[in-house]
Chain A
Amino acid sequence: MLSCKDISKSYDDLVLSNFNLEVEDNEIVALLGSSGSGKSTLLRIICGLEKADSGKILFNGVDLEEIPPDKRGIGMVFQNLALFPHLNVYENIKFGLPSKSSTNKIYEILNLVGLKDFATRKIQNLSGGESQRVALARSLIAQPKMILLDEPLSSLDSGIKESLSLEVRKMIKSLSIPAIYVTHDPQIAEKMADRIVYLD
């Protein structure tokens, strides 16, 4: 279970003020809010890319404050997906594989995201939906204990967005891990999540 307690963060303006959130095991929570409401900032604090000005984050009872991002066991899919353009699909996913793990897992995960024939494909030659699946596969192959998704479907058109959000939900549920899904689209939030939390 993830607990965010009294999280505050400010840059030039106050972004988050004493924010509290709890995510149960295997639960998918959608964070819904307008631009600048601090949704992405909260995800970055949870995975350790930024530090909160005050507050605590506990994951399965452990305080994450002193734990570096790569040791927290939390995966993240970025808004622009951050797929490495100099690597193909296989190599991008391998980037997320711990060094001594078997590469068979790459094909297993490609299969899971429905891209088993795309291993050698260049990133530039993927559609928006395919890129999104690769980004998800790259995050999942490290076997995270939780996954954070920062509006990864925002650049897709509404038809694909709907069907893909259901697929993503299915995949996360099949892995039995909790997830936080950031969006500003209420319809997607409803389809995707077990619970919706509003951030203003």
Chain B
Amino acid sequence: MKARFLLIISWVILVLWPLLLAWNQLDSVSERSIFDTISGFNEKFQTKNALSYTFLVAIVSTIFTLFIGLPLAWNLGRYNWKYHNLLRSIFTVPFVMPTILVAMGFLSLLDWASILSGNNTSERARFYTLIFAHAWFNLALLIRFCEPLLSTIDSSYEEACRLLPSGNTQFRRFRNFWIPIMWPNIAASSALVFVFSFTSFALVKFITPSRRNLEVVMANQSEWAGLPVPSLSRAPSEIVLASSTVQLITILLALLISSWLQSKSSGHHLSSLKHRRKSVSFKSIRGLYLIIMIVFIISPMASLVTSSFMIRENTSMVFSLQGWESAFGGSHSPTNAYESLISSIFYALMTIMLSLPIGFFLADTIFNLEKTNPKFATILDVFVMLPLALSAVMVGLGVLLGLLRTEPEIARSWWIPLYGHLMLTTPFVVRVLLPAMRNLNPHLEEAAALLGASYIRRLLFIRLSLLKPSIIVSSSLVFAISLGEFGASWVVLRFTEYTTLPVMIGDLLSRPGYDPILRPAANAAGTILLLITLTLFISVERFRPIGSGGEF
């Protein structure tokens, strides 16, 4: 119990300490109040329209994701398709894709569109592309939250509806049965889609470079914010302090609503698993819709790979290996793709080694507290999820401003990026392991104890052994998130020599001026990241516990 208590205290310090230091640092430099800064946002070019743009992008992205995602979840959940599991994997893979790859995939699609149409890409086209990219990335959330419920609801409910006056038409069944049953799941997933679109960094930064959301504003100001030179850092500090406060309040509200809705959702005790899915052919209207969605999912990834072998010459694209040569030769970046990849894999492995045991013991503590002290278990659960509410850039800023600006001598420490990765990945470990722990048969450990097995033996041979599939899934998730992490790394690593692959890609995409090699070089480095992430996802998906619904 003492060890568990120490672990909780350590996690609290790990999460809060740099953030509190960062806010203190910003506050000490700022002169204006947060409210004054926010009300003056539209007067400064660094923040002009940032607040309205952040909300606009998040709201439109959420609506559009629902618009294309709900029919997809419905068709996957209620009908049987040839290669059903492969289809589900295709539609859920975007969520583990590094956001910078998503940005590059859609940028390369924009390039193709601009060449084919012979026109330059307009601002409006970039905005629509951003919305499509958010929907692409977040589609998996809707499927993970809605499809398991849709696929397991006993068909007798719908049949009962068909026989009764309030459910005898398709419209009435939707209004009186499906929507009331599904809305907590739809609303909970929408809240998360809103959060991820609200805190989108790489996608906004690269797809709509002339517009800024709060996340981009904070990252842009990170270079000067918090420095102990008031004349230089006052305005940036005020902006970061105000932006992070608005962002934190908005995200916390959205997550609280999501959590409340999920608790409502678990109140419905529907009998399940008797649903016999109707088989549907790809040669139907539903099949056509599914094929369009498959093309939508695959095209940015395919475009990214093909664009790495192309170079733009005036109004056409020609085949070239110069992008790959530049990426591996390092001619356009401080490090080459090979060094950056080694660095990324090193950090990803280190993150697994740390976040997996920490996440396991946090999940185990919550699981045990649920039986003895449910209120404390809920508080701890919310606290464990806190880093997710902070967004990657805010975590990066916390580390940068809280640690590096207050203790400059540790700025060049190799472990600095690990700090952000650990905070961002541990909540995912808890979210995967906790439901798996709840599903374990408690009698198995009790039987082992009665047979004389010690705590360590029970842990190793019963619990860890039974949790192996979930541990493999969470490890791969941690590896994928860490490998592709961009927001926190971009803020922190620009000031160190340990460049990861996403930071190298970001650096190539951010270079000022036009150089036809930069984009193919970034695409080549992105292709490597894409192939690793895809291989990891496909090889691990078969370990996902059967019937595991919701969350990640």
Contacts and interface: CB of A to CB of B under 8 A. Distances in A.
For the side of the interface on A, what is the size category? Answer: 20 to 34
For the side of the interface on B, what is the size category? Answer: 20 to 34
Interface string A75-102: 1101110101111000000111111000
B163 A85 contact: no
B163 A70 contact: yes
A95 B156 contact: no
Contact of A84 (B162, B163, B168, B177): B177
B269 A96 contact: no
A122 B268 CA distance: 10
A145 interface: no
Interface in B158-173: 159-168
Interface in A37-74: 44, 47, 49, 68-70, 74
B274 A80 contact: yes
A138 interface: yes
A84 B267 CA distance: 12
Contacts of B176: 95
B413 interface: no
Of B159, B164, B166, most A-chain CB atoms within 10 Å: B164
B336 to A, nearest CB: 58
Contacts of A70: 162-165, 168
Interface string B266-285: 01111100100000000000
A167 B521 CA distance: 79
Interface string A135-157: 00011001000000000000000
Contact of B157 (A76, A84, A96, A124): A84
Contacts of B180: 84, 86-87
Contact of A49 (B162, B167, B177): B162
B476 to A, nearest CB: 35
Contact of B162 (A69, A87, A97): A69
A81 B383 CA distance: 41
Contacts of A124: 267, 269
Of B159, B160, B176, most A-chain CB atoms within 10 Å: B160
B27 interface: no
Nearest to A80: B271
A155 to B, nearest CB: 10
Given A80-B274, A86-B181, A96 B159 contact: no
B268 A95 contact: no
B154 interface: yes
Contact of B160 (A74, A78, A86): A78
A95 B167 contact: yes
Contacts of B167: 95
A167 B160 CA distance: 23
A95 B175 CA distance: 12
Interface in B246-270: 267-270
Of B165, B167, B180, most A-chain CB atoms within 10 Å: B165
Given A82-B156, A124-B269, A75 B163 contact: yes
A96 B168 CA distance: 10
Interface of A: 44, 47, 49, 68-70, 74-76, 78-80, 82, 84-87, 94-99, 123-124, 138-139, 142
Interface of B: 154, 156-157, 159-168, 176-177, 180-181, 267-271, 274
| CB-based closest 6 A-B pairs | A70-B168, A82-B160, A78-B156, A82-B156, A95-B166, A85-B268
10 contacts: A44-B159, A69-B162, A70-B163, A70-B165, A82-B160, A85-B181, A96-B165, A96-B166, A138-B164, A142-B165
Given A79-B156, A97-B166, 20 more contacts: A49-B163, A69-B163, A70-B163, A70-B164, A70-B168, A76-B159, A78-B160, A80-B154, A80-B156, A80-B271, A84-B180, A84-B181, A85-B181, A85-B270, A95-B161, A95-B166, A95-B176, A96-B166, A99-B166, A138-B164
